[in-house]
Structure 1
Amino acid sequence: MLLYNGEFIPEDELRLPLTNRAFQFNDGLFETIIVADGKLRFWDDHVARMLAAAKALKLELPQAILSGELAEKLLQLAVQNNATTYGRLKLKLWRSGSGLYTPETNQADWLATKVPATPAQTTTLHIGICQTITTNYNPFSFFKGPNALLYVMAGIEKNEKGFDDMLLINRQHIVSELISSNIFWSKNDVLFTPAIDTGCVQGIVRQNILRWCHSAGIKTKEVYFDVDSLLKADAVFAGNVTGIRSIATIDNGEVTVDENFVQQVRSNLFA
């Protein structure tokens, strides 16, 4: 079952016109949300990012989203797809109507899909440094959707080179993010993560890790560092809504793994 503009429909009944602006112009955004034990994980943060993204795109969101009805319907969708224990939900929003580059309207259509999934692994990651693309900060780089092709190309390079993930840097050779995760590292009891204007996504778990560190009295810095800084760190790890994983090597060079610290962060966010 799908949830299309607030209505539950079977997947094989979905019909979208060729003029669909998500298809024609990638004119929209998406959120990936985890349902765990019958709850939408980090839901308030997803809503906040969705509202900020809609403002950046000048999208007029449907009343069902603005009124708060959406959370209940998404959980109903999870029930219908047997995905309440653990599942991955994708919420897509795009500008309605047709037109060319100049749209006919700023109203939004939306679609939610939900499939069962398994919790993310906690084994260490071996990552490469992406050579295909670089991140680029712009008014749309903080959310998911408009820059998706960057991550597609990085994913192709990952497969070609046999890594678990790829480290993305920007044009100034500053560390930015991974393909679908933010990156973090600790050094001398300080937690570092790239600043948003390196071109990285303003990740939901990124926000929660920084929030937890603040409450735990752990100093944090949002920085502009090169790859060498990661190689000298006390611990390096990746985080997104599915979980947190330590990084063991970068371009086959070993980095320190402090699983005790990573497990502390993991248990406080995903207990």
Structure 2
Amino acid sequence: MINFNGVIQDSDLQLTVSNRSFLYGDGVFETLKIVNNKILFFEDHYFRLMASMRIVRMEIPMTFTMEYLEEQIMKLVGLLAIKDAARVRFTVFRNEGGFYLPNDNSISFVIQAAKLENIRYKIPKIQFEVDLYKDFIVPRQLLSTLKTANKITHVTASIFAKENQLDSTLLINETKNVIEAANGNLFMLMGNKLITPPISEGCLNGIMRKQIISLAKQIDSVEVIEAAISPFDLQKADELFITNVIVGIQPITKYRKKEFEVRLANQLLEKLNALIEA
């Protein structure tokens, strides 16, 4: 089952070939995690979605209140009986019509949901190897910070990782700084400094990124810094880890010949689980 414009339908709903998300990547989305009948960090997700729609000049319906969207999401996961732990994708796309210039800016939405096995966050893979992806860059622009339906760089980077027996890849911008992983935001521990690229570098304005920055600032021995990361910095790091809402924290254990600790990642994971269970 899916929720299409507020109506629960069979999941084999077919969109037309004129769908603008299909033709032009003319859509934005949020990936959410539900734990114990609650959408984690929902206010942050809601305001990011509203900001994304405004930036790409979509018409925001008057009905799109936070309460309405929550109701639509929970209606679907309730019918699927997966309220304990679920992954949800909320996609908004401009309605069909026109070419590059749409006929209007009205929108439709579709909600998909699937069961997750784990309620608490835990490290999904003990060994996790990455390398740089250099075929394409992520430009330092506002659109790069959004979750849009056009993620072809991340798709090709993920295929590259699979072809090279890697678990993920690290993406770079036009200045050759490392900005994020193909599957989430990047954090680097160097000494007592926890560094993550600023949004101005072109990385995703991640919801879990925001939570980890806040939790890390509670640790007296750690100084949190938003600063550019060069590929040379990676070789000198003590820890590297990736964050996203579904996984939480995924430590990187190997980059090229360098292997990394996972001490801070484990500490932050404990704090993250305490936060969602509070």
Query: Contact 1:238/1:245 (CA < 8 Å) preserved in 2?
Result: yes
The alignment partner of 1:141 has SS state of helix
Q: Does 1:248 align with 2:253?
A: yes
Q: Which residue number corresponds to residue 4 of structure 1? A: 4
| Superposed displacement of residue 215, structure 1 | 4.2
Query: Contact 1:2/1:77 (CA < 8 Å) preserved in 2?
Result: yes
Q: Which residue number corresponds to residue 92 of structure 2? A: 93
Q: Which residue number corresponds to residue 27 of structure 1? A: 26
Aligned-partner Cα distance in 2 for 1:264–1:108: 42
The alignment partner of 1:63 has SS state of coil
Q: Which residue number corresponds to residue 238 of structure 1? A: 242
Q: Which residue number corresponds to residue 177 of structure 2? A: 174
Q: Which residue number corresponds to residue 80 of structure 1? A: 79
Q: Which residue number corresponds to residue 39 of structure 1? A: 38
| Superposed displacement of residue 194, structure 1 | 1.1
With normalisation by structure 1, the TM-score equals 0.93
| Superposed displacement of residue 118, structure 1 | 2.9
Letter in 1 for 2:255: I
Per-residue CA distance 1:187-216 (angstroms, 9 max, x = gap): 232210012122211111101111223344
Q: Does 1:66 align with 2:65?
A: yes
- CA-atom RMSD, angstroms? 1.7
Give the 3 Å change call, closer, same or farther, for CA 131–118 of structure 1 in structure 2: farther
1:205 to 208, 211, 214: 208
The alignment partner of 1:52 has SS state of helix
Aligned-partner Cα distance in 2 for 1:122–1:44: 29
Aligned-partner Cα distance in 2 for 1:6–1:170: 38
Query: Contact 2:43/2:66 (CA < 8 Å) preserved in 1?
Result: no
| Superposed displacement of residue 239, structure 1 | 0.8
Query: Contact 1:5/1:110 (CA < 8 Å) preserved in 2?
Result: yes
The alignment partner of 1:84 has SS state of coil
Aligned-partner Cα distance in 1 for 2:252–2:130: 7
| Superposed displacement of residue 87, structure 1 | 1.6
1:143 to 139, 142, 146: 146
With normalisation by structure 2, the TM-score equals 0.90
| Superposed displacement of residue 122, structure 1 | 4.7
Letter in 2 for 1:222: E
Per-residue CA distance 1:66-104 (angstroms, 9 max, x = gap): 252111221121122232221211110011231111111
Aligned-partner Cα distance in 2 for 1:54–1:27: 10
User: What does 1:217-228 correspond to in 2, within 5 Å?
Assistant: 217=220, 218-228=222-232
| Identical columns (%) | 26
2:168 to 140, 165, 168: 165
Q: Which runs of 5+ in 2 are unaligned?
A: none
| Superposed displacement of residue 112, structure 1 | 0.3
